[in-house]
Structure 1
Amino acid sequence: MSLRPLFPQTRLRRLRYNKVVRNMVAETSLSADDLIMPLFVCPGEKVKNPIKSMPGNDQLSVDMLVEKCKELYTAGVKSVLLFGIPESKDEDGTVATHEHGIVQKATRAIKEVLPDMYIIADICNCEYTTHGHCGTIIDGDVDNDSTLVTLSAQAVSLAEAGVDMVAPSDMMDGRIAHMRSALDENCFEKMPIMAYSAKYASGFYGPFRDAADSAPQFGDRSTYQMDPRNSDEAIREVEMDIAEGADIVMVKPALSYLDVIYRTKHEFNIPVAAYNVSGEFSMVKAAQERDWIDGNRVMMEIMTSIKRAGADIIITYHAQEVAEILNKR
């Protein structure tokens, strides 16, 4: 007995049988233009310190960082996010505001060789403070308003060094307005701000803290980073940053917060970035090393899921690998 008369006229598989038509009707596309590669710059020359918890990533001296940027640019990754590992630290992170700070030096060196490489500077104090917190400590906790002064000074200094964008990741209240005002007053009104708007107090940051030598020496960051249980609060954070002048808003981490990425994109008419963080990266690498997964396939599936959720930009340690796969396609 034939089942045809009983079968529905619509067969969704019709558009899956051929690769060409699958590509035609694909709802989500991924491009190397979407990617930003985070890099860690440290003092010295010819330094390449492997980050054990992040296979394939290194702490790089300025000269080696420039070589890495050349490699990335050739692969099609045209933007990097810089994190600095300074020679010395202080109580409030003012070392990050110096003209000859490590990220300032790196920026000038990259621009001299690759003027078209788009450089984004992470703005935070955790790598630069002796205690590892993101601001000035008063009465045992990070003081919001005094920290704003240091963050804005850091942003202006990096703008003077030649960065193309600043990305405050501290999660202090009012930082975008304070930084926007400082940049404008110093004739950097064209400098865009990518705000880490919904940055959660996450367990996925562990490998990063090894890479940037930024683990807090006491307590944790739950008094200023967001509670993972909250999403309505994330929308309030995003809304406040937009009102204060943010040009791009970010959700961090990405995988456990795809719902927040989706809500952010659908509730606000603004570019959205998502940070596929170190722990997310390292889990894929660890499982791949044990032959538990097809690492490249899972990596591309993760990137696609982040784009599908609504991210316009993906900051990821997979950036070069993803770009190389896209180039082959």
Structure 2
Amino acid sequence: MTTDGDTLATGYDVMLLDLDGTVYQGPRPIPGVAEVLRGLRGRGTAVRFVTNNASRGPGDVAQTLRGMEIDTTTDEVSTSAQAAARVLAERLPAGAKVLVVGAPALEDEVTAVGLRPVREAAGAAAVVQGHWTGTGWEHLAEGSIAIRAGAFWVACNADVTLPTERGLLPGNGSMVAALKAATGAEPVVAGKPEAPLFHIATLSAGASKPLVVGDRLDTDIAGAVTAAMHSLLVLTGVSTPADVLAATPAERPTYLASSLDALDQPADELVPSPQKGWQVDVDHALLASSKGSEDAYELLRALCHEAWQSGITAVEPRDDEAAAALAELGLTRPA
């Protein structure tokens, strides 16, 4: 690892790290992540693991990370359940009943902010909804009754799908959609891509200059834009080079890299911008040619710079080096 004072990480006082696709993939840590995190802590940079998953408490998440040999403590984990509970506490008087449509871990967060979790609609001042594999019709029915009666409704997140080893499965957003259809109401969303989770995580670290790091444009990066924070998109998870080329202004990262190792690289090298090693011309497509570089991610940054200005996302290589780099990025097929 470098000790250069001009690396990306040294420009920020806390890293707000997504988990699945950024720190680990399924049950395995992404190679090199543990070393990067040790380096951050060694330089005094705070770390917060920021997750939309509301079904597990911070202690359980921290234990999972330690099982992957990633050092962490419970107070370094910020969940959408905590953010939702904070939103509720700011709105409701102490001791108010909150109908929980979600996991026992969500009940614990409601209790922690001085509110009373319940499972029946009668007397509920609010409804809080988070992902839980145990959610069934009866839970949705109670939520519908409470919302129709005027209860304040908070969703931990609105992720329609949940990535698993078996593929994408229904996420909390799918269950939220059911209550939207049943009530005609819209919830306040506490988790990504809304701002509360990011602000709460930053506050918990006593920090003022956060960097959001994640693998999804629609949650991590969009959330950073909403919260007016800088962001790093890593391509170790959901979003692809093709996705980032086509990203709208609301989903464009400040920095772009292949993996979390980029935190030890100079910040200015990671900004989507013209690159010394590549030529990109704009015509009917983005026409790419090498000027001495074979780094596919340098090319991707140059392509994003032009695509975001022109709106053109089709790419064509002008030489063998560009063809190989584009194939590595999945933007064209190998010859």
Q: TM-score of the superposition, structure 2-length normalised? A: 0.32
Higher relative contact order (CA 8 A, sep 6+): 1
TM-score between the two structures when normalised by the length of structure 1: 0.32
Higher helix share: 1
